[in-house]
Structure formats: C-alpha cells, structure tokens
C-alpha cells in the first residue's frame, strides 16, 4: 500500500539489531468502531462508523514509542485503516501499516470455516527478525502461526472504564531486554504484571 504521512520508510540496515518491533492491531485492540453510537459521544467518525478510542490510548502510544519501533497490521480495509491511523498516531511514527491485503486466508479443515491469518514470516522477508517482533491483538487466531510473538489483549467494545493499555505498557517493558520474545510464555501476562505491582499502586 502507498506510504501514509504517519509512516516512515523502513530501512533494515539502519535499525538497531536489539530494537524490537511492536505490531499493533486496530479494531477491538486500540479502537472500537460501530455503525450505531454508544450512549456517549464518539471520539471521531470514519465514514459510517462511530469510533471510540480505548482509554489511555495516547499515553500508551507515547510510552511504547520510546522503546519500540511501532507498526500497525489490521484485518480492516486500507482506506478505513488510513483514516483511523491519521487520528490516533503522530505523523511519521509508524514503521509500516499493513491492511487486510497483507493477511492470509486459511481454512480450518475441522470446521470448514475460513480464518484470517497475519503471517509474520512476511515481516521476516522485509528484514525483521522474528525473535524481535511482538504482536498485540485481541484475536489470538489471527496469529495461529506465530503464537510465540503474540500478546493477546481483551476485546475492547467501548467501555470507558477499560484499563488494559496501562497494564499492557508495563508488561511490554518487561520484554525489552529479552533476547527472543518467542521463548516467553505470555498467556498469563496480566497476572504477571499484577503480581509485580505493590499494593496500593495503580
């Protein structure tokens, strides 16, 4: 897809070999978009959709941008993704943006259903090392071929009291100096973060 104003060209030879890439999903991870509004004002609109940002989104992006190279990979369409990204990310911050065109459709031969897969081997071909890629998504099945890279977040459907992102930022910092993120068990990351926070500290 054409480069957006929020995206800076990727040159693997200029990347620090130790710097990790954080690949973020959009819908139900960072934002919630719907055709009918909730009982509160939307943050912005994109076409027919009322879009609600996940609470603490701006501070989350600012925090993780200090330590990671940021990218977006969404299963949504290119035009929709571009408009959402323009509203929530600072210009020039993202390394790349991939939409549904970069996803793979796979069939589950047990159920006969088709699923959408985000195949991280495509990033490897772009010069990124799998051991330095962390994917954040609310739908684990999209990373069925790369569970070792995935941090699964709770689905966001517009709850203004949602507090997932501050916890996630804290957990991601714990992965900064891990040589191979795929070697770390991440399924119970919330419990790990909670156990590390002293009583009375938010």
Interval 123-150: pLDDT, tens: 988 889 999 999 999 999 999 999 999 9
pLDDT of residue 5: 46
List beta partners, residue 105: 116
Q: For 44-120, where are the E strands, in sequence order?
A: 44-46, 49-53, 69-73, 94-98, 104-107, 114-117
pLDDT of residue 77: 96
Residue 153 tokens, joined: 């977040």
Convert the pLDDT of each residue in 23-46 to its tens digit.
999 999 999 999 999 999 999 999
Domain-located, residue 148: yes
Convert the pLDDT of each residue in 167-187 to its tens digit.
999 999 999 999 999 999 999
Domain-located, residue 1: no
Domain-located, residue 144: yes
Range of the domain at 68: 12-196
pLDDT of residue 202: 45
pLDDT of residue 10: 47
Tell me the CATH number at 51.
3.40.50.1000
Domain-located, residue 4: no
Residue 3 tokens, joined: 């480069």
Write the Ramachandran bin of 61: left for phi over 0, alpha for psi from -120 to 50, otherwise beta: alpha
3-class secondary-structure state, position 43? coil
Query: Given the structure tokens 């509160």, which residue do they identify?
Result: 40
How many structural domains compose the chain? 1
Domain-located, residue 125: yes
What does DSSP say about strands 21-24 and 133-137: parallel, antiparallel, or unpaired? parallel
CA distance 71 to 19: 13
Domain-located, residue 110: yes
Domain-located, residue 145: yes
Domain-located, residue 41: yes
Residue 189 tokens, joined: 């990351």
Q: Where are the alpha helices (DSSP H) in the chain?
A: 57-65, 78-88, 121-124, 164-173, 189-196
């Amino acid at each position: 897809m054409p480069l957006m104003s929020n995206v800076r060209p990727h040159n693997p030879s200029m990347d620090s070999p130790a710097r990790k890439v954080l690949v973020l999903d959009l819908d139900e991870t960072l934002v919630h978009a719907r055709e009918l509004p909730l009982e509160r004002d939307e943050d912005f609109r994109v076409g027919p959709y009322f879009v609600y940002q996940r609470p603490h989104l701006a501070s989350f992006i600012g925090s993780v941008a200090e330590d990671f190279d940021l990218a977006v990979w969404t299963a949504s369409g290119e035009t929709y993704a571009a408009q959402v990204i323009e509203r929530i990310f600072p210009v020039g911050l993202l390394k790349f943006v991939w939409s549904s065109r970069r996803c793979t459709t796979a069939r589950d031969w047990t159920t006969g259903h088709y699923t959408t897969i985000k195949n991280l081997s495509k990033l490897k071909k772009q010069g990124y090392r799998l051991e330095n890629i962390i994917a954040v998504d609310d739908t684990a099945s999209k990373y069925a071929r790369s569970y070792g890279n995935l941090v699964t977040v709770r689905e966001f459907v517009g709850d203004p009291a949602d507090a997932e992102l501050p916890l996630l930022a804290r957990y991601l910092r714990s992965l900064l100096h891990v040589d191979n993120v795929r070697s770390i068990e991440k399924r119970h990351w919330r419990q790990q973060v909670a156990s590390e926070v002293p009583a009375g500290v938010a």
